Amino acid sequence: MSTVRIPADVDREDTLLAGLTARQLAILAVAGLVAWLLYQALHQLVPPPVLAAVTTPIGCGAVALALGRRDGMTADRLAVAVWHYLRASRVAVPGGGDALPRVPSALGLQPPMYPEHLRVPPRHISDDGIIDLGEGGAAIVCHATAVTLDLRTDPEQEALVAAFARFLNSLSSSVQIVARCDVVDLTWEASALEEAAPTLAHPALEQAARSHAAFLRELSARRDALRRELFVVVHDAVGGADAAIRLRRQADEAETSLAAAGIRLTRLDGLAVARALRPTRTGSESPAGARQ
């Protein structure tokens, strides 16, 4: 059986000259143009050391922006993200129009501290799980199971990787694979065990229930209890009335393709999608909360 290699840099930008991308070349070109204009305007007015002191920071900053990288993000994009973060409001609230609370003028808050509308990509979630993203199109979310390759033989691992590679090669639209890990608070389960312990038929069962409740509290205090979930999000950038049909077909094709890799997909309905999209919480829910 032949080995299938999956490229790890499929999102890397194309290089144009000397291993530099178009964005990097543009940054360096703009910095060079600015330095040249400063030289043409000032070389007859100021001494060369002063001119070098003015242009050197520009060149160093341009090189840092063009070639720098941190945590997989280029320095120019990181600088833009920091700028938007500093300019963004620190308070985001739902609602619009008159629903936005008014800040008393006596507080003396500046515009970056004023509350602003909370903007989230989903506009609407249908009962069958289709997410309306507005201008971004539509999407559908599927829950995925995991596969442990370490427990498989080498031929089985090669077969699973080849099946996953065939799934990637068959994609005609963007697909996002999301791995989410939440810390679970087990205090509710421990309290339920402690309340039910006196009603057990035998003292030994009561003691075992209380011991297990103490173990759950200790486990929750160490924050070792984790809940991991995997999701496959299929995105349709076109949107429109036929987006639901296309998304269902793509989800069915992904389910068939990933089944060969040992991964089982389950398409989520509207309620399950809403639960998956809400902010993660460090606590397990009671049965009453799960029914809401």
281-292 confidence digits (pLDDT tens) = 444 443 333 322
171-182 confidence digits (pLDDT tens) = 878 888 888 887
Pairing relationship of beta strands 175-183 and 226-236 according to DSSP bridges = antiparallel
CB atoms within 10 A of CB 55: 18
Phi, psi for 18 (deg, rounded to 5): 55, 35
Query: What are the domain boundaries of the chain?
Result: 15-87, 124-185+225-291, 187-220
CA 83 centroid distance within chain: 20
Spatial separation of the C-alpha atoms in residues 160 and 145, rounded to whole Å: 14
CATH of 124-185+225-291, picked from 3.40.630, 3.30.70, 3.40.190, 1.10.8, is: 3.30.70
Spatial separation of the C-alpha atoms in residues 22 and 17, rounded to whole Å: 8
CB atoms within 10 A of CB 229: 14
Spatial separation of the C-alpha atoms in residues 85 and 238, rounded to whole Å: 30
Joined together, the tokens standing for residue 69 give: 């990288």
Spatial separation of the C-alpha atoms in residues 247 and 142, rounded to whole Å: 11
3-state secondary structure of 130: strand
Please enumerate in sequence order all residues whose Cβ is within 8 A of that of 61, keeping only pairs 6 or more positions apart, or say none.
Answer: 31
Q: What is the mean pLDDT of each run of 10 residues along the chain (292 residues)?
A: 62 73 85 85 81 82 83 82 78 60 59 62 84 86 89 88 88 86 82 89 89 87 79 86 86 89 89 79 41 28
30-39 confidence digits (pLDDT tens) = 888 888 888 8
Residue with tokens 């090189």: 63
